[in-house]
A and B are shown apart, each in its own frame.
Chain A
Amino acid sequence: MKEKCLCGAIRRVGAFFLRRIGVLLLGGLLLAGSGPGLYAQALRVITGHVMDANGDPLPGASVILKGTTTGTVTDAKGAFKLSIPDTGHDTLVVSFVGYESVTVPVGLDNVYDVRLPLANRRLNEVIVTSLGFKVKKDESATTSSTVSSEEIVHSGEPLVLNALGARASNVYVARTNGDPGAGTNIRIRGANTITGSGAPLVILDGVPISNSTIYGGGNGGRDGGVSQQTRINDINPEDIESVEILKGAAAAALWGSRAANGVLVITTKNGKAGRLHINYQMTYSMDQVNQRYPIQNTYGQGRNGVYNPKSAESWGDYIPDRAGGEDDVDMTGRYFEAYGSGKKYYPILTKNSKETYVDSNWDDVFRTGGFLQHELSLSGGSQKTQYFFSFGRLDQNGIIRESYYDRTNARINVKFVPNSWFSSNTKAGYISSSSNRIQQSSNVAGVMLGLLRTPPDFDNHDYFGIYYDDNGVAYRNHHRGYRRYLGDGVPTYNNPMWTIHQQKSTSDVDRFLMMQEINIKPISQLRITLRGGVDRFGDHRIYFFPINSAGRDRRNGLLNEDMITEQELNFDAIVRGNFSLTDNLKVDATVGWNINDRQRQYNSGSVQGFTVDSRKPTTDLNSSAEATSFSNYYRDIRSNRGYYSFTFNILDQLFVTASGGLEAASSINGAFFYPAFDAAWQFSDLGLTSDFFSFGKLRASWGKVGVQPLPYRFQTLVDAGFTYSTYSDPLSVNQFGGGFRLDNNLGNPDLKPEMKTEWEIGADLRFFQDALSLSATYYSNRIDDLLINVGLTPSSGYETIYANAASMKNHGFEMEADYAVVDHHALKVNLTGIFAANRNEVTDLSGVESISLAPGSVDSRAMVGYPLGVLVGTGSLRDENGNFILDDHGFPQLTPTPVVLGDPNPRWTGSLGADATWKGFAFRILFAHSHGGAYSPRTLWVLRRFGTVEETAHRVTLDQDLYNFRGDLVPAGTTVRGNIEDFGGGPVLLDESWYRTGIGGGFGDNQAYNFAIYKATWTRLREITLSYTLDSKNFRARTRLSALTFSVSGRNLFLWDNIPGVDPEINQSGVNNGFGLDYFTNPSTRSILFSFTLSY
């Protein structure tokens, strides 16, 4: 039945199409869409040129006879020729994107040269919808933020997502750390899912593409391993024309179950008809660590004030009290001989040396990183063919030695318009990147863990060499670190030099993206778009840990290899039409159908325990079957959707849209409908405009969007490789020949999408002849049917079920302002400001107490009644007034169970920017601010236990007897290492018994983590740029170039925050719904960039 209807429709559409061709052939014209008057009246031919204010031709400008469909576009020289009926009182409307339209009365002359002034800045602003079509911003009722090509390029970020930071309200963008190519967290209007991905859907040129951040089998989880890449960052920022951030449900509803996190609509550049334009840009960046943990250099390795070269901590002797000179060593037996320096290390008998190595150890790890980027693009074309070719190459060295990220991009965008009723648009990109990434975070092979725990009096430099035992037997390739200073065994964790120079974690990505679109215009009111997309990438990762790397699994050598491939195929058939039902009622209608298929596959293999001590990552390192393992994973998610959108334009003043999509997806039982309504009212059309008030629009919308369930959760399947343990006594079925069990997770064939319902109201206002524009929106949403694992009654035979069982809500406010303060001939000054606040609350978890999003001793969780991501851990007992309940000596006491310690969500975020141009100079500055929220730098906390962090190295002479945490009374007059603190019961002494052995620093649940929570508020100078462009007539005439631009800019140059040593934007658990945590995560960067651009 359905097919029949569709076929009927297609047949009819086809009939129009054929009839049209007949007309065209008969008329012998290639120009269609001419008005009926064409043949009826006497004609005259007028010609002319359309130019910009400088007199440069504007190719592709439209010239239309007012009130008719008669019109043409200008050619490459800006010339036009038009036959019009000779009425004697007609008017031409000349318009071009980015310029103000001009009306020209047609008099007796037959030649008209028209100069178009640059558009009054906002009148013709367009936004790109989720289907990739441009609509006038002033007629849109949904909230979106546009980030332009210039803003992206000027940000100097080689990764496109990072360029969006602080550009749009309520769009939280944070790279997970400063590693080159590191993944980026992006969250629009707070959290919209608990267990699903919080990343927005990315539409590139109308086609959804992969934006996954895959950790994979070899990485060993999110909280350790290396930072992984976020796939959208493959896109070359230079190729981007604009990024539209669709935040609200209504704007995104056509993408149904993939749109709850918002949609990023990215459009790549197209060529313009006209001469060949060549653009070459070279950028050189210098990157440095932007925050450094303060490490003490006054106390040596050891405990209890006594030096001990085997101690894990730096609670040893006071270094200035040492004798000085060479250490006394035992040269009779074993020793370590370093490669390179040849220096020999013997067992230390007495530590005499006062030398410390805090800075040299740091410099062995960090360098001034940076990148060199070349971008070449060619564009141009004729009326019929427009092209854009680009080629980009990025070579980036990370701030951590040996880390790098290299990327090559190529893109071809070709638009072919053979006639007025057919056009083809082809956009294809290829990306190849390779990188080496450094192990980090909670990981004995992590670089920061080894570096920051190193005692100040230990030199990490000679990390690699030969160990000779007491009998003189040599052991080659041994690993020396501060916990094995003779290199006699594998240190508990890596010397950071080993992490950098001996281990490898490479990733090689090849990606191909293509979009092919065909537009057919069978009649003037209808446009049919057929659009197909392919996105395919492979990511080949190698993790190599040579023999003698730290860690139980790695000490005998470990090689992991992951091969990840993803493919997304997409097809849309869209019919659009615009109809004037009456003079005052016009309809824009869109009807479409979409099918989308996403496949992912990974194969992981590993070899554990090498028989050969080599640095080649080959499986020949151990060819025995027991040493090798292999696993695979495959998934396929498909959806198809019918959708429509009808926008009613009433009196050119009120715009009402009703849209919706009905979608079926493979991981969802049944089809779901995603409706949306919105309305925009240009109330300024009521005659309210004046010199002061130039435009006003009120808008309101309501819509539903979703998040798809994980695939493959319908059935109850069988489980292999399981373990039973009652209390620290595991039995693993794999050790007993393998076996299966019915999965303890009950299949759920009734899975629905997570459903977000959102309404919003807002206003867009402009003042002072559009110089000042303000946009404000209030939204409120409810997300129901959130998917979580719910506990079942175990005696039913099943423990959990993945079910639609939770709910959450958000509401918030966002505002964007833009003010052209000065626009006076050569000088233009523009200010921008954004402000946003979001409040989130988890409202129901179906009895599940909490869900861990980023597990750890301080844990980011979902808990009913709290915002998503609250930080939870053991804290200090307090009375009802919030005062500490102290022990007999005045110290806080631990809570018996974990408590909520803080909320990492900011209270509000904002940014302030300015740009100014004067003659050839341009200056831009952008500050970003995040206010409130909590952050837990557990690195700092653990370093207190290790005694390496500066705050533990104060010396204080007591002026009264004070208790320490152990309960010892330390007499007045004693000079001790520690701090004096008052928890409410009078001053107490915080010394080693508090920081190292007590509850004031360390691991596990027995810590007062309330003291490990800091205010996350920060302000940063996100960007500052000064550029000079040479494009004078003289210059152009002499060089035949159109412009030459030099610029210098800074990125993240200053950061004001409350946490010593860590940028609160970094996230230990990477791209994840849990956040607000750091644990020896690789640091973030600040950069200075130089670039020059040559345009022909």
Chain B
Amino acid sequence: MKIVTTMKKMKYFLLMMVVAATTLVSCESLVDGLNDNPNKLTPEDVGAELFLTGAQLANIVTQNGHLNRIAGMYSGQLVGYTSLYSNIYGYNLSTVESNSTWRAIYVGVVPQVREIRRKAPDDKLLVGIAKVLEAHAIGTAASLFGNIPYSEVADPEIPDPKFDDQIEVFNSLLDLLDEAIVDLNDGVSRNLSEDIYYGGDKDKWIQAAYTLKARYYLQLKQYDQAYQAARDGIGSDDASMKFYPRGDETTSGDKNLFYTVLAGSRGGDIGNHGSYLMSMICPDTSWSRNNAKTNENARYWYYEIHEEGGPVNKGIIGMFEPMPMVTFAENQLILAECAARTVNFATALGHLNDLRAWLNSGAFLNDAFADSSYLYEAYNAADFASGGIENPDGVDPLQALLREIIEERYVSGFGTYMPFNDVRRLRKSDSDLIVPFPLNPGGTDQPQRLPYAFTEINANSNISEDPGLYEVTPVNR
């Protein structure tokens, strides 16, 4: 009897054990799929072209942001007066300063333009633009940092991309630009408001792609290929790739970047008063480049930065002043330099004079400086002959012409990486051509590169430390 009772009780107990066991087969199906975010769109929801503006903005801060200003300070163009910029001006540059630009390149540009290509492989205009943007941003990275991650980037399957040789990176980019040119040629221009550079004009993109090719060939010192590429490059100023600020005076986040820096709490920190560049185009200095055919007066006032910031800046860092990225001037000067190196004196001089003719049209100025005087008369061979206005020291005329072309690159290139790239490119075999800007106070050597980002060094197992500012990058060895 007792045993039976116990058995009976056990039955219920065992039943509960069974129920326990079955309930423990918990139902994931009841909660599946609920974790899809209803507040954010998926990549599939969003059209390919909607990724373009963000990528272009990231590229703008890459080309015209913090590192550009630092490169300017390391090539006699800008001066850091106080706070962080005075430290950097004295060559105290931490890897942290590269974080934001590195992020813009590797997070802001590359994954985004690849997403465009993934989503719209048949939209040749978009695909071409995407490739040019990638080549532009990565090319800037390669020229600034040297060896960089490229072949394995933007792939979530590869947590730590390896660092590729700088020369290989440039070669890959040249291939990518060739592809881009093919794509763009196959594509059709259309009104593309997301393209804040060129508004969907494929011809301008093709020209920009050729100028970038020329830029990279130039950095690889393959001057004949550079010349060939530049012949199809940006042929007029309206095809120059620039950042055009927007909005009205009350909006923010859409203005000239340099203006924005000085307008905020950084006023007084950085400017160009006292820089070598400004003294070159100031008529009062002994090393002024003004001569009988050249008057830089208007350009001086246009270039002048009022470091205290604010609306007093009406020139090159005015609130709405466009910022140069890939320009007609750069292309002309590549043509001129490469022609001088690989074609002949006359052709080179012709290219230089084309640029001077454009300068003499005053088109580089904005309306605020329309009344200032300037002169860029065409040079002739005599000007470069020994004792000519561009050859007082009697060097070889071709050398004198090259020197003038490099100097023009130094002046016209204000606001781009061109002057910083040139001083490093010409270091080994053409040091006599370098614009002789002095080192900043406290400096012992010319920086040869900018540091990798701290965030990358910290996280990427393929690198343990930055090689430093003075390590010569492979293309310039």
Q: Which residue of A lies closest to B52 (CB)?
A: A739
Contact call B28/A664, Cβ cutoff below 8 A: yes
Within 8 A of B (CB), among A688-730: 711-720, 722-730
B51 within 8 A of A: yes
Interface pick from B40-48, B178-186, B208-216, B434-442: B40-48
Which residues of A lie under 8 Å from residue B155 when comparing CB positions?
A: 796-797
Contact call B35/A714, Cβ cutoff below 8 A: yes
Q: Which of B39, B254, B261 is in CB contact (< 8 Å) with A735?
A: B254
Q: Which of A581, A726, A743 is in CB contact (< 8 Å) with B67?
A: A726
> How does the 8 Å CB contact mask read for B93-113 relative to A, with 1 for contact and 0 for none?
000010011111011101110
Which residues of A lie under 8 Å from residue B161 when comparing CB positions?
A: 793, 795-796
Within 8 A of A (CB), among B211-254: 246-247, 251-254
Q: Which of B26, B65, B148 is in CB contact (< 8 Å) with A662?
A: B26
How long is the Cα–Cα vector from A954 to B309 in the complex, in angstroms? Answer: 41
Contact call A796/B453, Cβ cutoff below 8 A: no
How long is the Cα–Cα vector from A664 to B23 in the complex, in angstroms? Answer: 12
Within 8 A of B (CB), among A514-548: 523, 525-526
B187 within 8 A of A: no
Which residues of B lie under 8 Å from residue A643 when comparing CB positions?
A: 23
Q: How many residues of A contact B (CB 8 A)?
A: 86
Q: Which of B32, B51, B254 is in CB contact (< 8 Å) with A739?
A: B51
Contact call B41/A718, Cβ cutoff below 8 A: yes
Interface pick from A1-9, A498-506, A1049-1057: A1-9
How long is the Cα–Cα vector from A802 to B477 in the complex, in angstroms? Answer: 42
> How does the 8 Å CB contact mask read for A664-681 relative to B, with 1 for contact and 0 for none?
111100110000000000
Contact call A666/B53, Cβ cutoff below 8 A: no
Q: Which of A2, A717, A729 is in CB contact (< 8 Å) with B61?
A: A729
Q: Which residue of B lies closest to A722 (CB)?
A: B54
A916 within 8 A of B: no
Contact call B65/A741, Cβ cutoff below 8 A: no
How long is the Cα–Cα vector from A742 to B110 in the complex, in angstroms? Answer: 11
Which residues of B lie under 8 Å from residue A730 when comparing CB positions?
A: 252-253, 260
Q: Which of A575, A667, A726 is in CB contact (< 8 Å) with B19?
A: A575
B154 within 8 A of A: yes
CB distance from B99 to the nearest CB of A (A): 8
CB distance from A2 to the nearest CB of B (A): 5
Contact call B31/A591, Cβ cutoff below 8 A: no
A642 within 8 A of B: yes
> How does the 8 Å CB contact mask read for A792-807 relative to B, with 1 for contact and 0 for none?
1111111100000000
Which residues of A lie under 8 Å from residue B52 when comparing CB positions?
A: 739
Q: Which of A644, A666, A671, A724 is in CB contact (< 8 Å) with B58?
A: A724
A327 within 8 A of B: no
B66 within 8 A of A: yes
Q: A740-B50, A794-B453 are contacts. A734–B253 as well, Cβ < 8 Å?
A: yes
Which residues of B lie under 8 Å from residue A859 when comparing CB positions?
A: none
Which residues of A lie under 8 Å from residue B46 when comparing CB positions?
A: 718, 740
Which residues of A lie under 8 Å from residue B149 when comparing CB positions?
A: 795
CB distance from A796 to the nearest CB of B (A): 6
Within 8 A of A (CB), among B165-224: 193-194, 196
CB distance from B155 to the nearest CB of A (A): 7
> By DSSP majority rule, is chain B's interface helix, strand, loop, or mixed?
helix
Interface pick from A71-79, A629-637, A923-931: A629-637
Within 8 A of B (CB), among A634-671: 634-644, 660, 662-667, 670-671
Q: Which of B6, B30, B159 is in CB contact (< 8 Å) with A638?
A: B30
Q: Which of A581, A729, A742 is in CB contact (< 8 Å) with B9?
A: A581
Which residues of A lie under 8 Å from residue B103 when comparing CB positions?
A: 744, 794, 799
Contact call A642/B24, Cβ cutoff below 8 A: yes
How long is the Cα–Cα vector from A793 to B458 in the complex, in angstroms? Answer: 8
How long is the Cα–Cα vector from A716 to B34 in the complex, in angstroms? Answer: 15
How long is the Cα–Cα vector from A429 to B159 in the complex, in angstroms? Answer: 53
Q: Which of B26, B28, B104 is in CB contact (< 8 Å) with A726?
A: B104
Interface pick from B10-18, B124-132, B284-292, B340-348: B10-18
CB distance from A117 to the nearest CB of B (A): 35
How long is the Cα–Cα vector from A621 to B51 in the complex, in angstroms? Answer: 36
CB distance from A591 to the nearest CB of B (A): 4
Most buried by B among A637, A666, A718: A718
B367 within 8 A of A: no
How long is the Cα–Cα vector from A770 to B60 in the complex, in angstroms? Answer: 78
Contact call B35/A664, Cβ cutoff below 8 A: no
Contact call A726/B460, Cβ cutoff below 8 A: no
Within 8 A of B (CB), among A1035-1088: none
How long is the Cα–Cα vector from A385 to B453 in the complex, in angstroms? Answer: 73
Which residues of B lie under 8 Å from residue A664 when comparing CB positions?
A: 26-28, 30-31
CB distance from B314 to the nearest CB of A (A): 19
Contact call B246/A640, Cβ cutoff below 8 A: no
Which residues of B lie under 8 Å from residue A971 when comparing CB positions?
A: none
Most buried by B among A638, A728, A737, A791: A728
Q: Which residue of B lies closest to A633 (CB)?
A: B39
Given contacts A575-B19, A636-B38, A664-B28, 19 further A-B contacts (CB under 8 A): A580-B9, A595-B30, A667-B35, A712-B36, A715-B36, A724-B100, A726-B65, A726-B66, A729-B257, A731-B57, A731-B257, A732-B252, A739-B57, A793-B159, A794-B106, A795-B460, A796-B154, A796-B155, A796-B160
Can you report 20 residue pairs joining A to B where beta carbons are below 8 Å apart?
A2-B22, A579-B9, A664-B27, A711-B34, A711-B35, A711-B37, A718-B42, A726-B100, A727-B84, A729-B261, A736-B53, A736-B57, A736-B196, A742-B112, A793-B160, A794-B107, A795-B149, A795-B456, A799-B103, A799-B455
Q: Enumerate chain B interface residues (CB-CB to A < 8 A).
A: 6, 9-10, 12-13, 15-20, 22-28, 30-32, 34-43, 45-46, 50-55, 57-58, 60-62, 65-67, 69, 84, 97, 100-104, 106-108, 110-112, 115, 148-149, 153-156, 158-161, 193-194, 196, 246-247, 251-254, 257-258, 260-261, 264-266, 453, 455-456, 458-460
